[in-house]
């Protein structure tokens, strides 16, 4: 899978990656994976742990994909996520809302995962008067 990812990602551009133009290019899977984990370092601990686990699981789950359309879609969506992550640690809660048309394109399984993800994040990250709260323990 990695060779296929690299070949497809490198075919997007023949030039070396320029950091100023990085948002317009795709990264090969391993560098993208590393950049995602590095970007998560700027997030609060609870969000970082959740994000790292999710990224690792998704990349593992898609390791054996051979369909070029799925590969490009996978890389593109993760690159878009990377571009949306806040650059400033103090701005870690300024994420963009999901476009309503995206919901329409999701399968029932994807909607279920999104719903579970929403509840998992509510358990970890509950704002209290605009400030971060500690995770609540279930009784």
HSE value, Cβ hemisphere, 13 Å, CA-based, for 116 = 8
- Decide if pLDDT at 60 tops 90: yes
Q: Rounded to two decimals, what is the model's pTM?
A: 0.57
Q: Note the pLDDT of residue 85.
A: 83
Report residue 101's pLDDT band, with 50, 70 and 90 as the boundaries. confident
- Decide if pLDDT at 129 tops 80: no
Of 67, 96, 93, which Cα lies nearest the Cα of 81? 96
């Amino acid at each position: 899978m990695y060779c296929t990812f690299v070949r497809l990602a490198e075919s997007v551009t023949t030039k070396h990656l320029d950091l100023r133009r990085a948002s317009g290019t795709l990264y090969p899977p391993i560098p993208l994976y590393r950049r995602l984990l590095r970007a998560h370092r700027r997030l609060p601990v609870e969000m970082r742990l959740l994000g790292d686990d999710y990224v690792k699981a998704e990349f593992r789950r898609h390791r054996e994909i051979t369909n070029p359309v799925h590969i490009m879609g996978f890389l593109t969506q993760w690159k878009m996520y990377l571009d949306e992550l806040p650059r400033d640690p103090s701005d870690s809660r300024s994420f963009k809302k999901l476009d309503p048309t995206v919901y329409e394109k999701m399968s029932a399984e994807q909607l279920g995962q999104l719903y579970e993800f929403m509840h998992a994040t509510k358990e970890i990250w509950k704002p209290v008067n605009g400030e971060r709260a500690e995770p609540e323990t279930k009784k």
